[in-house]
Structure 1
């Protein structure tokens, strides 16, 4: 198995879990927050999409799907267009409201861009330094793995929230 095949499989698992988590979840359940302060399913799925979008677009030299395909306009969130959810206050988490279909459409578009980029990679590409602000500098391979790990954690959290009964109609 080549490295890119492994990466394609791992990012594909995020996509599968996003779809499974959103299946059967209505608009009210999407924004329900565990204990009143936890992150909602809508926020978690939106955030993981933004994380993958920003990270992959940057290393691939592409425009973010969020702006390129006007998902920012379609969602109409009361947040800055560049917002990804890092450090959000409780009010900002509440501001992320969207239908399941819109969340899935956005993540699918992000996923397609990620997959196109991953298919173009060679093993040597993964050694390219993409961030010199760390010691040691961050390579493309490390950035992709950390992006996958972050997104997988968030989709797992969303699935957990759904499983608690917060995500059922």
Structure 2
């Protein structure tokens, strides 16, 4: 297995979690907050997709999937093409409500497939290219891709935990 195959497999892992997490979920649970100030499932899944989308747009120089495919209108979320919720306070988190879990999942699918398509274009040399020297050690393209994937996995894990708190639900059961 080569590096691109590993990154492709890892990129798609959040989709499996999201499919199970969002199956049969109602809008009330999707938008509930398990504790005051806590992130809702809809915010967590939206953020997982959007951080991937925004960071990938920075890597590729292309528009975000959010902007290109009109996801703000599809989901009824008034956020700009570079807004992925970083720094959102409790008011912004609470204001983000998504009623359609299938559309939310479709956003994540679109972002993951964009990442997979991008990974498929990369050579080992591309993955080793330093893209951000503000860090020590400097960040390579490959490390940034792993970071994007990791962020999505973490937030989908949080969303799964939130559903467990709200409904007594268990991932994989």
Q: TM-score, normalised by structure 1?
A: 0.92
Q: Secondary structure at the match of 2:131?
A: strand
What RMSD over aligned residues (CA atoms) do the two structures have, in Å?
1.6
Structural mapping, 1:64-103, within 5 Å: 64-98=64-98, 99-103=100-104
Match of 1:31 in 2: 31
Structure 2 residues not aligned, in runs of 5+:
none
CA contact (8 A) 1:32 1:166 kept: no
**What per-residue deviation string (whole Å, max 9, x for no partner) do you get for residues 101-157 of structure 1?**
110111111111111111112222111122222233211011011111111110000
The whole-number CA distance in structure 1 between the counterparts of 2:149 and 2:48 is 9
In structure 2, how many angstroms separate the alpha carbons of the residues matched to 1:147 and 1:164? 26
- Structure 1 residue aligned with 2:141: 140
- Map 1:115-154 → 2, pairs under 5 A: 115-154=116-155
| Matched-pair contact (CA < 8 Å) for 1:130–1:138 | yes
Q: Separation in 1 of the partners of 2:30 and 2:167?
A: 8
Higher relative contact order (CA 8 A, sep 6+): 1
Aligned length: 168
How far apart, CA to CA, are the structure 2 residues paired with 1:23 and 1:113?
23
Cα distance in 2 for residues equivalent to 1:37 and 1:120 = 41
Preserved contact between residue 54 and residue 82 of structure 2 (Cα < 8 Å): no
Find the aligned partners of 1:72 and 1:167 in 2 and give their Cα distance: 31
Question: Do 2:45 and 2:155's aligned partners in 1 also have CA atoms closer than 8 Å?
Answer: yes
